Amino acid sequence: MSVPQDIDPSRWRSDLLTGFSCTDLPLTPHVPIVGEPDIPVGGVLIRRDRDRPSDPSVRRPAVLYIHGWNDYFFQTHLADFWVGLGYDFYAVDLRRYGRALRPGQLFGYITDLDEYAAEIDAAVTVIRADGHDTLVLMGHSTGGLTAALYADTHPGVFTAVVLNSPWLELSGNLLLRQVVSRLVSGVARMAPTSILPIVDQGFYRRTILAAEAGEWDFDTEWKRLNAPIRLGWGRAIIRAHERVAAGLHIDVPVLVLCSARSVQGRTWSEEMAQADTVLDADGVAHRAPDLGRHVTVVRISGGLHDLVLSAPPVRAEFFRTVETWVAAYCEL
């Protein structure tokens, strides 16, 4: 795997998070999107800084984390957890998200999740140049779906896959899913950048944002209330779900973690602070075995959609589970 000409793995700079650095992962060629300025798109790779071995022959394992829809990497305690296990930690902000979002770009827009392979390929190249041969792939929500598709089509790159509430299928009954899929796919052919009239009532945000009822500070321009959902993006998700339903063949152990239950509704309920209010957790658990022949599924009681942002006892259970699984299936 060669490094594209416009990627300089040595060009690390201080990140907005203390104790982290980052580097750009520009992508070529770029196909302009109608309604978007003709400016480069690309990802940004973030690294948890710590002392590097003085002996170049020491090759530590590393983790690459992929965020979900309407998200970016800010979960520093997740990085510290992996460092505590002996792994170096990296995360990628995908094109049109977070650190990689440029003025005028269509927030989070993509028409095929396989296009993210460019970011992942480039990130893997830089991580290997940084001194790592053994890599674990981790993804959350839509990032979990992207990670699963990449691991399926790129065997041998990662030694294990850890998925935190991966978005493996649409919520709702089968008939509703089929109707929505056909509607979105049909209209998206004619107007892919049109915005779906979906309103986020802010219940999940309420459970996590420190300024509301949560515990976490994050950039509310990079993790927005009512981020625009475009038809072309919706069609990309539906196609990805169809691939998962048909069965993937990930060739390494996969750990899928999700909440023990989901709670949805039009009005706020205190139950939402102890459940997944974004995805159908039962649907995630049901679809998970279709990822490969070696899949472990764990339900976390009281877990929010992003399990690492759950209440302290809940996320402690999440981390204990991951640590136990890593000890069993990942060789340091």
Residues 188-197: tens digit of each pLDDT = 566 788 888 7
Q: What is the mean pLDDT of the chain?
A: 89
Q: Are 183 and 259 in contact (CB under 8 A)?
A: no
- Lowest-pLDDT choice from 180-194, 196-210, 236-250: 180-194
Count CB atoms within 10 A of the CB of residue 96: 20
Per-residue pLDDT tens over the stretch 258-279? 999 999 888 999 999 999 999 9
Residue 90 has pLDDT above 90, yes or no: yes
Residue 46 has pLDDT above 90, yes or no: yes
Give the CA dihedral 21, 86, 163, 328, nearest 10 degrees.
170
Give the pLDDT confidence score for residue 95 in this predicted structure.
Answer: 96
pLDDT tier, 179 (very low <50, low <70, confident <90, very high otherwise): very low
- Lowest-pLDDT choice from 148-162, 196-210, 240-254: 196-210
Give the pLDDT confidence score for residue 297 in this predicted structure.
Answer: 98
Q: What mean pLDDT comes out for the span 175-202?
A: 66
Q: What mean pLDDT comes out for the span 125-150?
A: 96
Give the pLDDT confidence score for residue 175 in this predicted structure.
Answer: 39
What is the spatial distance between Cα 143 and Cα 130, in angstroms, rounded to a whole number?
A: 23
| Helix-, strand-, coil-residue percentages of the chain, each rounded to 5 | 35, 15, 45
Please state whether 157 falls in left (phi above 0), alpha (psi between -120 and 50) or beta. Answer: alpha
What is the spatial distance between Cα 64 and Cα 312, in angstroms, rounded to a whole number?
A: 24
| Per-residue DSSP letter, 78 | H
Q: What mean pLDDT comes out for the span 10-25?
A: 93
Residue 184 has pLDDT above 80, yes or no: no
Give the pLDDT confidence score for residue 293 in this predicted structure.
Answer: 95
Q: What mean pLDDT comes out for the span 282-306?
A: 97
- Angle, nearest 10°, between helix axes 117-129 and 142-153? 70
Residue 63 has pLDDT above 60, yes or no: yes
